[in-house]
A = this chain, B = another copy of it.
Amino acid sequence: MNFNYTEKITSLQDKLNAFFEEHILPIEQEVSTFNYSAENRWKRWPGMDDLKAKAKAAGLWNLFLPKSYGDLSPGLTNLEYAPLAEIMGRVLWSSEVFNCNAPDTGNMEVLAKYGSPDQQKQWLEPLMNGDIRSAFLMTEPQVASSDATNIETSITLDGDEYVINGRKWWSSGGMDPHCKIAIVMGKTNPDAPRHQQQSMILVPMDTPGLNVIRPLSVFGFYDSPEGHAEIVLENVRVPKENLILGEGRGFEIAQGRLGPGRIHHCMRLIGMAQRSLELMSQRASERIAFGKTFKDFSSIRQEIAQSQCEIEQARLLTLSAADKMDKEGNKTSKDLIAMIKIVAPNMALNVIDRAMQIHGGKGVGPDTPLAHFFVAARMLRLADGPDEVHMYQLGKSVINKHAKIKI
């Protein structure tokens, strides 16, 4: 047991922080303002490709893909990548610069792990190069998709093609002009056992019948240029080779996809929370009311102390989950992964909310990243499974573990 980062990690942190100092922070507000303005909606900030090239040149590229993937991977474990994801979380739009943004990361993992050579050639390569983006079409408006067995989209074999029908929403990234490919979850085998009914299939975004109905706003944010799309699939036909892994294996793929993604999300949330704490500390050291600087109010110190405690705990928990995943794999780590998925978004919401409050009106407006952080964190109490589902399964697992122990 050892709570210090290795030198490998600290030197990567230094490098990434330096990149942020030089290339990201100076233009943070400019990019955000571009993304927020109605006239630029669904356009990409023009400097993005240049930034990506710089990150690639600096070797800060695809860091998310664990070394277990061999040559495809830049060689980090989950535990080594986690502190870097934390840094990326500090600026909402920055992950793409390093080709480390959801949902592309998860989609790349799926293709790297389960994709056929052809699928990899056609879609994984350009994704790894950052030339295109992708979407993941899972959630459906008509059913409680938190119970994934509810999902109703049909994928039916017809000759050499699969025909897909259904309605999906909250397909993040689906509005991006670079988004070229979607992974769609649906039912191929409605009569099979509950967890073998589903499959995943690759659907190019320009396939006829795939219609983006509208972008969804989240608390008023549109998250341009990626966006969150509502998509209707109406008799969408793709070659049968587009199926991933095989019929009825959708759940298996979904399980494999989620573990690392949750580490990433949670570490980014920790980055958001950490930065919020820093912003709140700075604000507290500057503002004056009733004859006192904010930092001399005990209530403000309490909020900052509480935030520090909550952040550090969530960080350790997430790192320990990454460590366990590296050592024992995703499946054995499932309780710990559920734990971070429950803890991190709620922790971040608490910290960010306090930071907003200390900032007064500025805190809910467009001049700090706080309000957008809050919405991103709130979204993550729902995305990849709502808190309640994780608690339902974790609670069951803990009870079963202890039910028989004599104490």
Residues of A within 8 A of B (CB): 1-6, 9, 25, 36, 38, 41, 79, 90, 139, 141, 143-147, 150, 169-170, 216-222, 228, 275, 277-279, 281-282, 284-285, 287-290, 294-295, 297-309, 312-314, 316-317, 319-320, 323-324, 327, 335-336, 338-339, 342-343, 356-357, 360-366, 371-372, 374-375, 378-379, 381-383, 386-392, 394-396, 398-403, 405, 407
Contacts and interface: CB of A to CB of B under 8 A. Distances in A.
Q: Which 8 residue pairs across A and B have the least CB separation, nearest first?
A: A301-B395, A220-B220, A220-B221, A281-B402, A38-B38, A313-B313, A285-B403, A305-B391
A275 to B, nearest CB: 6
Contact of A289 (B147, B375, B400): B147
A277 B301 CA distance: 23
Given A392-B301, A398-B277, A398-B305, A357 B1 contact: no
A407 B24 CA distance: 11
Given A170-B361, A277-B402, 20 more contacts: A1-B6, A3-B319, A141-B362, A169-B365, A216-B366, A219-B374, A219-B375, A220-B375, A278-B407, A281-B402, A282-B405, A282-B407, A285-B400, A301-B399, A302-B391, A305-B342, A306-B342, A309-B342, A313-B314, A360-B382
A406 to B, nearest CB: 8
A394 B389 CA distance: 23
Contacts of A5: 1
Given A1-B323, A279-B407, A395 B38 contact: no
Given A309-B339, A316-B316, A281 B401 contact: yes
B399 A382 contact: no
A170 B299 CA distance: 25
Contact of A304 (B143, B378, B395): B395
B402 A1 contact: no
How many chain copies does the complex carry? Answer: 4
Contacts of A309: 317, 339, 342-343, 394
A399 B286 CA distance: 11
B365 A217 contact: yes
30 contacts: A1-B323, A3-B319, A4-B327, A141-B362, A144-B287, A170-B361, A218-B364, A219-B221, A275-B407, A281-B398, A281-B399, A281-B401, A281-B402, A282-B402, A295-B399, A298-B300, A298-B388, A298-B395, A301-B392, A302-B392, A304-B399, A305-B391, A305-B392, A309-B339, A309-B342, A312-B336, A312-B339, A316-B316, A360-B386, A364-B379
Nearest to A281: B402
Contacts of A150: 288-289
B357 A386 contact: yes
A364 B377 CA distance: 12
A20 to B, nearest CB: 9
